[in-house]
Copies of this chain bind each other. A is one copy, B any other.
Amino acid sequence: MNIGEASAASGVSAKMIRHYEAIGLIEAMRRPNGYRSYGPQDVAVLRFIRHARDLAFPLEDIRRLLALWRDRSRASADVKQMALDHVAALESKAASLQAVADSLRHLAQHCQGDDRPDCPILAELEGVRE
Interface residue ranges, A against B (CB under 8 Å): 44, 47-48, 51-52, 54-56, 65, 68-69, 71-77, 79-81, 83-84, 86-87, 90-91, 93-95, 97-98, 100-101, 103-105, 107-108, 111-119, 121-122, 124-127, 130
Contact = CB atoms under 8 A, between A and B. Distances in A.
Copies in the complex: 2
A82 to B, nearest CB: 8
A93 B97 contact: yes
B65 A122 contact: yes
23 contacts: A47-B126, A51-B124, A51-B126, A51-B127, A55-B103, A69-B126, A72-B117, A75-B114, A76-B113, A76-B115, A76-B121, A77-B114, A77-B115, A79-B111, A79-B122, A80-B108, A80-B111, A80-B112, A81-B113, A83-B107, A87-B105, A90-B97, A94-B97
